[in-house]
């Protein structure tokens, strides 16, 4: 009786593993964030922010006394779009996005 129970559990484990592999194969691939609206290619994150920070981002940093290095800057390699992302502060649920 113990062997039958053990074989049943092993069979369920293999079935769960097979279903998991099958679902991964048929699931749609996720889109890389962020991507350019115009060309659809993934954007590249820059390590340095530069001096041309948008007013909205500067105001947000000054309002919450945040350092400039918390902001992330992404650009399209073809020069179509630039995206600035500031993290949420306190009980905010969303980040601040500014696009040029």
Mean pLDDT, the chain, rounded, equals: 86
Distance CA 27, CA 20 (A): 11
User: Would you list the domain boundaries of the chain?
Assistant: 1-29, 31-99
* pTM of the full structure: 0.64
Q: Is pLDDT above 70 for 31?
A: no
- Cα–Cα distance between 87 and 70 in angstroms, integer? 7
Q: Is residue 72 classed exposed, middle or buried when 0-12, 13-18 and 19+ CB atoms within 10 A define those classes?
A: middle
Alpha helices (H) in 1-100, listed in sequence order:
2-26, 55-63
6-25 residue pLDDT tens: 889 999 999 999 999 888 88
86 versus 31: the higher-pLDDT residue is 86
């Amino acid at each position: 009786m113990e062997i039958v129970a053990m074989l049943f559990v092993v069979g369920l484990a293999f079935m769960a593993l097979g279903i998991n592999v099958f679902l991964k194969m048929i699931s749609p691939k996720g889109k890389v964030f962020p991507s350019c609206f115009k060309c659809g290619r993934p954007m590249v994150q820059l390590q340095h922010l530069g001096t041309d920070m948008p007013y909205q981002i500067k105001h947000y940093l000054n309002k919450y006394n945040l350092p400039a290095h918390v902001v992330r800057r992404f650009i399209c390699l073809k020069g179509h779009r630039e995206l600035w992302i500031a993290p949420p502060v306190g009980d905010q649920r969303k980040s601040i996005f500014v696009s040029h």
